[in-house]
Each structure stands twice: as C-alpha cells, then as structure tokens.
Amino acid sequence: MAGTPLTTHTQVVSGWAAHDPSGKIVPYTFKRRENGPNDVTIKVLYCGICHTDLHFAKNDWGITVYPVVPGHEITGIVTVVGSQVTNFKIGDRVGVGCMAATCLECDFCKQSQENYCDKMQLTYNGIFWDGSITYGGYSKSLVADYRFVVHVPESLPMDRAAPLLCAGVTVFCPLKDNNLVGNPGKRIGIIGMGGLGHLGVKFGKAFGHHVTVISTSPSKEKEAKERLGADDFILSTDADQMQAKKRSIDFILDTVSAKHSLGPYLELLKVNGTLVLVAAPDNPVDLPSFPLIFGKRTVKGSVIGSMEETQEMLNICAKFNILCDIESVTPDKINVAFDRLVKNDIKYRFVIDIAGNPTSSL
C-alpha cells in the first residue's frame, strides 16, 4: 500500500466512542497524527449518523476494533494545510466520506474508481498507511489525506450536506451508472423511504424522472407525494397494487436494509429493467430466478462512489438544491439517536452538531 513514513500521533482530540458491544457512545480523548505534507486538518462541524455507525458500535459484523469513534458523513472547515496540498486552503468548507486511504496504485485507483480498491481503508475502524487505526467524525477535529477530501459548495448548508457524503453518493452513483443523469423521462422506483430512499426520490425528481415510492407502510404515501414530490406510490403488501403495476418501471433502487424477497419487486420492472441494491441486510435477500428469466432483468449492487463522483454529486446537489432532511442532535444525545434509529424513528437522518451545547432533551 502506498503511503507515508511512520507518523507521530501527538494531537490530542476530544471525541465520542463506543468501547464494547453495548454500543454505548461516551466521551473519549485520543490522539491523531500530526498534519503531514499531504494532509489537511479539519475542524469538524457536523457529522451524520449512518446506520453503519450503529453496526460498528455494537460489533454486529464481528469486525469492530474498540474503542471505535464512528462517523463518515463529515463536514467542517480546513484549519491546517500540508506543504504538498494545492487544492485546499485554510478556511475552505470541506467534506470527508467513507474512505481514508487506498493503495493509489491499482487500476481502480488510477481510473478514479478507488472505492473498489482491494486495499481501501475506512474513515473509521480502518488501518491507515502508518499502521494506526482510523477514528471517524464523532470528534472535534480530523486529519485527512487531501485525496480523500472534497469541497462543499457554498450554497449547501453544512449540516444538511453532511449525510450527502455517504447517503447522497450511495444513491447518486447507481442513477449515474444506469444513464439516469441527463436522460430524463424514465420511470424509476425507490424501495424504502429512509435516509437513502428520500434522497433517491429527490435525485430522481431533479433529473426529470417519474418517481414511484414502494413501501410496506401505507402511512408513507402522503409523505412521499406531498413532502418529497413523488409521482406515485405502491403499497408492496397490497397484491392488487403490485399486480396493477407489473412491468411498468424501468429502474428500481432498493434501499431496504432488512431481509426481503426481490421477486415481487422484480415483477414491477419492464423487460430489460434493472434493480440495484444499495443497502446491506444482515441476512441474504431472496432472489427467485423466474422474474429474472422471464423478464430479462438485471440485479446489481453499488457501494458509495469515488472521490471524483462524490465531488460531482455535491456540485449537482448545489445546482438542484438537493439536501438531506435532517434532525440535529448534540453529542450528549447520540445514544438517544441510536435508540431511535433502531426504531426507524427519524425523518430522515440524524446529524450531530459537534460544537453544539448539551441539551436536556432530544
């Protein structure tokens, strides 16, 4: 892996970490590396709470290294710039997403597809080039290699832009990869209307498509149409509605992180239609073969995006005023937010106001 010589970790930073599988987040003081020639130091202003943070805090995937400082939807201000950095300056509004490092040398890295690098390391719970464990954005400052930092356009509020660094690029890339950017007039479906799904609706409408929300909850119909501007709604537990919409949709984005069967949703696709999975259920989804065979349909997966795509996505969000709908919380209320996240009690993303004063209630 390409990298830097062993660095000294002497910067004392205040943050918030989980120390065991209870997942409880508590104040934590730790050390970050000194700002190197290819680094920028960032004063963290906001950090989104992704469901992945909860998985890592509780060691749901069995790979957590404790203590873990979560957070990969980070916005802040540059305070220090390394000697080799030319595209950032002190005072710049910046963002950091899921990646902290890659090999920089493989074909994927050279083709601006570093998010598929075999040696990609995460912003937290990863191993940086100097051998240290990475700590994320639940902290007051961050040191990041400039190659994994993006500019946040001036028109985007920093709090509502934070979730775009993960949730935003996660839904943008499948639309781009399937020729749905700059090619209006398609019929697209969004399964689920949470942090990812609501952004999928916003991108789809901004790009000029007919957008259908597909949900198991009838209460979501009014919300989908009136709040987010969806054109149509299908209650997936209603067999008559599902039957009436067979072969009517060109493309489906599946944002559901719970185990489910893809069969009924595939039947909604036209012949040659595509369904893209962007969520990560704990257990495998069901994929019956008949809806694939008799509709010549495709099922694909997609994960975040490259740094180039992340910057492109932010610029498009600025152009179309696409922002995440958020609820702001202070660091002392992260555990309450985690509890509500488990219950899906949020519209649609929690964002930590890192500098916020402690509150008495959420």
Dump pLDDT digits (tens) for 177-236.
Answer: 999 999 999 999 999 999 999 999 999 999 999 999 999 999 999 999 999 999 999 999
Reference 272, options 186, 360, 170; nearest CA is: 186
Give the residue extent of every domain in the chain.
9-166+305-353, 168-301
**pLDDT tens sequence across 34-73:** 999 999 999 999 999 999 999 999 999 999 999 999 999 9
Predicted local distance difference test score (pLDDT) of residue 329: 96
In sequence order, the 6+-apart residues with CB closer than 8 A to the CB of 205 are: 211, 228, 229, 230
In angstroms, the CA 119 to CA 348 distance is 32
Give percent above pLDDT 70 in the chain.
Answer: 96
Indicate whether this model's pTM tops 0.85.
yes
> What CATH number is given for 9-166+305-353 in this structure?
3.90.180.10
DSSP bridge pairs for 254? 191, 277
Query: Regarding the domain with residue range 168-301, which homologous superfamily does it belong to in the CATH classification?
Result: NAD(P)-binding Rossmann-like Domain (3.40.50.720)
Give the tokens for residue 124.
């937290």
| Averaged confidence pLDDT in the chain | 94
Nearest-angstrom CA–CA distance, 146 and 39: 5
